[in-house]
């Protein structure tokens, strides 16, 4: 515990919350009576801000390269702060208390700390500064006049219309996707104003959100959505069981195609703003160390659950643990293998620099641009030697750090490794090929020294599972709604625990960025 110290200048508190616009019995009780008298001068709020800042700096001291000064504590204080989580403890209540003013200060300090870490870790990355918006008197009047407070909504079951569980789980993940929810609930695509006459998937999404936020609790049958998908994608038409991932990709493509802002390149439709990332592929010639880079846009990442023959042979060269390679058991294992260098065959690469044909080379993937929402498919269904399903349980985290898989982090690690080699007097081989430290055996063998960058940290919000055999199984989902996990099994919606979610045999995973970046081009243009 750290006691609230001295008296710096007061700071402004959070303004114009929901309670300010719509006063009444729904106003959340917060804080405790012992804090209210000492909050009025504002000193305790600013002191809490200082302690929260010290706490966050200490937690991320390795990423920031600093160590904050220690503060001496005083005894007998009424309010204390738990240093690891910045929780507020009232000495008279003998319990932790919630106070929205302190919570607002903590959130702003977390954001400030994240921006500092991002600038320190990626000094060349352009990111506009976050500026908090407060409603003025004019905006507040407009909000009061044109808005009404709705009850908590967004949870609703979906009817199974005959082997349509594959569609239901994808629709539930769309509904609980924070970016899609914000887009369609803010009326940015209205089915009433849409100029597309028929088969518009954007209009179907708009109607889907309307149904889920109508206040009706009975299960909904998305017949119109299914019919539009049948008309748009003939491969999905019919009453047979379909693959949820194929439906997901097809739905994204159809929503994109009918969007008024749809483009072949640099598309600004809601699908690309939400799911689109950029994958970088680097091919390195093992004779002259020439690197050729290519870039591929992606909407999701499909991960193998079993190593390929090529990756197995490369693993033996690297001397990695056989148990790790033969049976990966976590999402991190799958991502490690996905971004590890693989050795190309002698007939797969011709070097443009040294002019040799059939030259040995390595290929490595990394994330050049990470999307706001990351979707993973764990490739459980195999078709190589007959249809089969991989039942291996893959562990996955509630919070995922993607820093180590980014192109910038890999370059940073290589530069640090190169500097370390120079200090130790190491160098590359005489024939100009990369030294052992930069070959596939060690380029990405360890990520231990990489500090998480806040803009590359993701939180899990939806999981899709498949039970049963490949052709006759059943899809279910978990989704996070207002901080709680729910099990979604067609028309049945039940409360779930995070442990149940993380213990499930996932087929698809959906993560959203913990801190969303501004669109730099639009931010600078505005």
pLDDT in tens, 42-99: 667 777 777 777 777 667 666 555 544 444 444 445 677 777 777 878 877 888 888 8
- pLDDT, mean of residues 370-378: 95
Tens of pLDDT along 135-153? 788 888 888 887 777 777 8
- Computed over every residue of the chain, the mean pLDDT equals 77
165 carries an active-site annotation: yes
Q: What is the mean pLDDT of residues 405-430?
A: 72
Read off the pLDDT band of 301 (50, 70, 90).
very high
pLDDT digits (tens, 9 = 90+) for 236-251: 777 777 899 999 999 9
- Active-site annotation holder among 86, 90, 165, 285: 165
212 or 357, higher pLDDT: 212
Least confident of 178-182, 235-239, 306-310, 478-482: 306-310
User: Which of 180 and 438 is assigned the larger pLDDT?
Assistant: 180
Position 432 confidence tier, pLDDT thresholds 50, 70, 90? very low
- pLDDT on residue 406: 92
* Predicted confidence (pLDDT) at residue 118 exceeds the cutoff of 60: yes
pLDDT band at 518 (very low <50, low <70, confident <90, very high): low
For residue 280, give the H/E element and its range. Answer: strand 277-285
Instruction: State the catalytic residue, choosing from 30, 34, 447, 474.
Output: 474
| pLDDT of amino acid 115 | 75
pTM: 0.75
Long-range contacts of residues 475-484, Cβ cutoff 8 Å, at least 24 apart: 475/165, 475/166, 475/168, 475/169, 475/244, 475/507, 476/165, 476/169, 477/168, 477/169, 477/172, 477/173, 478/504, 479/172, 479/173, 479/175, 479/176, 480/176, 481/154, 481/155, 481/176, 482/152, 482/154
Sequence-distant (6+) residues with CB within 8 A of 76 are none
């Amino acid at each position: 515990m750290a006691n609230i110290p001295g008296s710096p200048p007061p700071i402004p508190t959070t303004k114009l919350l929901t309670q300010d616009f719509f006063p009444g019995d729904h106003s959340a009780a917060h804080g405790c009576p012992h804090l209210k008298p000492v909050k009025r001068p504002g000193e305790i709020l600013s002191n809490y801000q200082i302690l929260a800042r010290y706490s966050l700096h200490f937690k991320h001291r390795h990423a920031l390269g600093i160590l904050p000064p220690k503060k001496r504590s005083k005894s007998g204080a009424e309010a204390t702060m738990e240093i690891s989580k910045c929780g507020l403890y009232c000495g008279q209540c003998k319990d932790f208390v919630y106070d929205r003013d302190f919570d607002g200060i903590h959130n702003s300090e977390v954001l400030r700390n994240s921006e500092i870490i991002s600038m320190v870790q990626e000094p060349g990355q352009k990111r506009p500064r976050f500026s908090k918006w407060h409603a003025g008197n004019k905006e507040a009047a407009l909000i009061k006049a044109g808005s009404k407070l709705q009850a908590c909504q967004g949870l609703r079951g979906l009817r199974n219309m005959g082997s349509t569980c594959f569609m239901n789980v994808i629709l539930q993940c769309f509904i609980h996707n924070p970016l899609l929810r914000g887009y369609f609930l803010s009326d940015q695509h209205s089915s009433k104003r849409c100029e597309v006459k028929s088969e518009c998937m954007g209009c179907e999404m708009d109607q889907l959100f309307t149904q889920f936020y109508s206040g009706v609790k009975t299960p909904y049958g998305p017949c119109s959505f299914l019919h539009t998908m049948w008309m748009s994608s003939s491969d999905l038409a019919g009453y047979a069981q379909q693959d949820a991932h194929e439906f997901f990709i097809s739905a994204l493509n159809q929503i994109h195609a009918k969007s008024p802002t749809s483009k072949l390149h640099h598309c600004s439709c809601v699908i690309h703003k939400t799911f689109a990332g950029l994958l970088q592929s680097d091919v390195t010639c093992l004779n002259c160390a020439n690197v050729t880079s290519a870039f591929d846009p992606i909407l999701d990442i499909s991960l193998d659950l079993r190593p390929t023959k090529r990756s197995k042979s490369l693993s033996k060269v690297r001397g990695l643990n056989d148990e790790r390679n033969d049976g990966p058991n976590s999402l991190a294992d799958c991502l490690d293998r996905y971004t590890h260098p693989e050795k190309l065959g002698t007939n797969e690469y011709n070097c443009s620099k040294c002019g040799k044909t059939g030259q040995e080379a390595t290929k490595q993937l990394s994330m050049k641009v990470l999307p706001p929402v990351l979707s993973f498919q764990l490739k459980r269904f195999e078709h190589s030697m007959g249809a089969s399903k991989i039942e291996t349980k893959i562990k996955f985290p509630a919070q995922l750090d993607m820093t180590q898989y980014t192109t910038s982090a890999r370059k940073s690690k290589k530069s640090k490794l190169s500097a370390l080699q120079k200090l130790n007097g190491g160098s590359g081989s005489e024939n100009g090929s990369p030294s052992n430290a930069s070959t596939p055996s060690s380029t990405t063998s360890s990520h231990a020294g990489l500090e998480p960058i806040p803009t590359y940290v993701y939180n899990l919000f939806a999981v899709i599972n498949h039970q049963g055999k490949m052709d006759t199984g059943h899809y279910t989902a978990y989704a996070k709604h207002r901080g709680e996990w729910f099990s979604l099994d067609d028309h049945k919606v039940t409360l779930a625990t995070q442990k149940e979610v993380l213990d499930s045999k996932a087929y698809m995973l959906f993560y959203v960025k913990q801190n969303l970046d501004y669109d730099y081009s639009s931010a600078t243009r505005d």
